[in-house]
């Protein structure tokens, strides 16, 4: 168990940008408009990530860049909406994607550093933003691509592939399938797509008329209507850390969750115990700063809907955002006093509540309120089962896949330990609060009184 802080000396990766261009589908595609569900709408923000690869003498970085660009051109035939641009439909009062084949971004860069110079690749290095460009020079805000790839070579021969993608395009499951398809088309021989994307997002459209059958404290009504992305988070300085827990630490959490638990139906998983611990540390650290133990603290845990919804019948290859959130809330003093098993049970109860009728009700709530944003001072998204690190490119699998730190302070990413069974959590909090967060995290593992 450890809390790893970024190396302040590694904020500048000494990057030189050599190419910045737009990549179009390899054949002309038909202009069409892509409907966006209400779930898509509240995910209008960029999610940058970086894949690190070892040097491969058969695939120098310039070859990797050429192969990757070729693969993107091929795959865009099947994902033509990703080369489009967001627009506002004034007639129906909602955003949609205009399939104008404007292109996705493609950047080639080099660093004066070696990969070893960077140190721990799982560490929340703000310099990694230089490896996943979000905007291209010379383009207006309206013309910026919704997805950009970047290949960065290091002086050791290793390289990184960064992908910055607007979440409105795809959720994690669909993004992993997209990457599998990119990898398959980067080989020289002819290969079929690994997955055939299913594009009908109207499966998650609101009912007519909308019917709200549950209260939805987990979402709130946005102020006004806007096409632009959601605010990119806090304007105040943030500290970042990666919480590293090995398999023994996870077993410790699971054992602690089982102790004094009175509900035998609660399925205790790695994600649930980690989410409960992050929620606890988040709540108590905020309470330490504002001195208000009566404040409410909420957790919003991201749930994949594909296998959970029985009546809607979402295909496994659903291409869009088929996610929603489990919700739990309590006062900070309760979170501090309650046994860990109760917090895990509340996280589990929130997840289990996400079924067909609840999701339909939430979608209809957003329809009636002209949108909706997730409410939670702790939003936990898991990459544990997505398998980004298992995508096999011609040049091999990545040695590390990491979310890139940003200003979205409420978001916590849970991702797997590279080459092990452990769990990493990227946390971003204001400076004073982060100090207390780490103290509560370490104290929890030191406390053997259950």
Of 82-86, 100-104, 161-165, 408-412, the poorest mean pLDDT is in 408-412
pLDDT at 224 over 70: no
Q: How far apart are the first and last CA of the chain?
A: 19
- What mean pLDDT comes out for the span 368-382? 89
CA 126 to chain centre: 16
- Please give the pLDDT value at position 30: 81
Helix or strand run (H / E) with residue 356: helix 356-368
Q: Which residue has the tokens 């865009």?
A: 76
Burial 354-376 (b: 16+ CB within 10 A, else e): beeebbbbbbbbbbebebbbbbb
pLDDT at 366 over 70: yes
CA gap 109, 186 in Å, rounded: 19
Q: How many CA atoms lie within 13 A of 21 on its CB side?
A: 11
Instruction: Pick the closest to residue 403 from 422, 424, 376, 378 (CA basis).
Output: 424
Supply angle C-alpha 182, 185, 189, rounded to 5: 160
- Is 23 in contact with 69 (CB distance < 8 Å)? yes
Helix axes 270-290 and 431-446, enclosed angle (nearest 10): 130
- Please give the pLDDT value at position 194: 97
Instruction: Label the pairing between strands 296-304 and 378-382.
Output: parallel
- Is 151 in contact with 109 (CB distance < 8 Å)? yes
Whether pTM > 0.85 for this model: the answer is yes
Helix axes 340-352 and 270-290, enclosed angle (nearest 10): 110
- Please give the pLDDT value at position 231: 47
Confidence band of 414 (pLDDT split at 50, 70, 90): very high
- What mean pLDDT comes out for the span 335-362? 96
Confidence band of 235 (pLDDT split at 50, 70, 90): low
Give one word for 265, left, alpha or beta, with left for phi > 0 and alpha for psi -120 to 50: alpha
- DSSP-based three-state secondary structure for 358: helix
Instruction: Label the pairing between strands 147-153 and 104-111.
Output: parallel
> Number of helices (H) and strands (E), helices first, in the chain?
10, 18
- Is 5 in contact with 241 (CB distance < 8 Å)? yes
Residue predicted with more confidence, 259 or 231: 259
- What mean pLDDT comes out for the span 46-70? 98
- What mean pLDDT comes out for the span 336-341? 96
Q: Which residue has the tokens 């959601």?
A: 230
- Please give the pLDDT value at position 375: 82
CA gap 237, 243 in Å, rounded: 19
CA gap 391, 158 in Å, rounded: 17
- Is 297 in contact with 332 (CB distance < 8 Å)? yes
Q: 244: which 2 tokens?
A: 């590293």
pLDDT at 228 over 60: no
Instruction: Label the pairing between strands 423-430 and 238-245.
Output: antiparallel
CA–CA distances in Å: residue 210 to residues 130, 206, 324, 363, 410: 44, 6, 18, 8, 30
Confidence band of 233 (pLDDT split at 50, 70, 90): low
């Amino acid at each position: 168990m450890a809390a790893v802080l970024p190396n302040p000396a590694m904020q500048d990766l000494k990057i030189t940008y050599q190419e910045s261009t737009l990549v179009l589908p390899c054949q002309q595609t038909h202009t069409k408009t892509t409907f966006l569900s209400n779930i898509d709408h509240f995910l209008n923000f960029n999610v940058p990530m970086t894949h690190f690869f070892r040097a491969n003498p058969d695939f120098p970085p310039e070859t990797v860049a050429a192969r990757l660009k070729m693969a993107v051109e091929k795959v865009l035939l099947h994902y033509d909406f990703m080369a489009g641009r967001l627009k506002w439909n004034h007639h129906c009062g909602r955003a949609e994607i205009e399939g104008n084949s404007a292109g996705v971004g493609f950047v080639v860069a080099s660093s004066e550093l070696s990969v070893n110079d960077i140190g721990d690749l799982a560490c929340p290095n703000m310099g990694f933003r230089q490896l996943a460009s979000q905007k291209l020079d010379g383009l207006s805000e309206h013309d910026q691509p919704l997805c950009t790839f970047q290949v960065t070579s290091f002086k050791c021969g290793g390289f990184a592939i960064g992908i910055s993608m607007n979440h409105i395009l795809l959720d994690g499951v669909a993004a992993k399938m997209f990457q599998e398809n990119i990898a398959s088309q980067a080989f020289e021989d002819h290969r079929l797509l690994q997955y055939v994307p299913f594009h009908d997002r109207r499966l998650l459209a609101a009912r007519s008329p909308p019917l709200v059958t549950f209260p939805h404290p987990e979402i709130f009504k946005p102020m006004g209507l806007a096409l632009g992305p959601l605010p990119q988070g806090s304007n105040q300085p943030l500290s970042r850390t990666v919480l590293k827990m090995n398999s023994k630490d996870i077993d410790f959490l699971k054992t602690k969750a089982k102790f004094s638990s009175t509900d035998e139906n609660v399925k205790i998983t790695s994600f649930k115990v980690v989410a409960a611990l992050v929620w606890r540390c988040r709540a108590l650290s905020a309470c330490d700063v504002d001195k208000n133990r009566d404040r409410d603290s909420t957790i919003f845990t991201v749930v994949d809907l594909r296998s959970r919804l029985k009546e809607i019948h979402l295909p496994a290859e659903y291409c869009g955002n088929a996610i929603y959130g489990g919700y739990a809330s309590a006062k900070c003093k309760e979170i501090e006093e309650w046994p860990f098993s109760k917090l895990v049970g509340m996280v589990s109860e929130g997840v289990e509540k996400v079924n067909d009728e609840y999701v339909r009700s939430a979608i209809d709530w957003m329809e009636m309120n002209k949108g909706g944003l997730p409410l939670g001072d702790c939003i936990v998204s898991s990459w544990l089962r997505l398998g980004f690190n298992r995508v096999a490119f011609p040049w091999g699998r990545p040695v590390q896949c990491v979310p890139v730190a940003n200003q979205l302070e409420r978001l916590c990413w849970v991702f797997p330990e590279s080459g092990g069974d452990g769990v990493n959590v990227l946390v971003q909090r204001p400076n004073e609060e982060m100090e207390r967060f780490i103290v509560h995290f370490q104290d929890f593992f030191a406390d053997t009184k259950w």
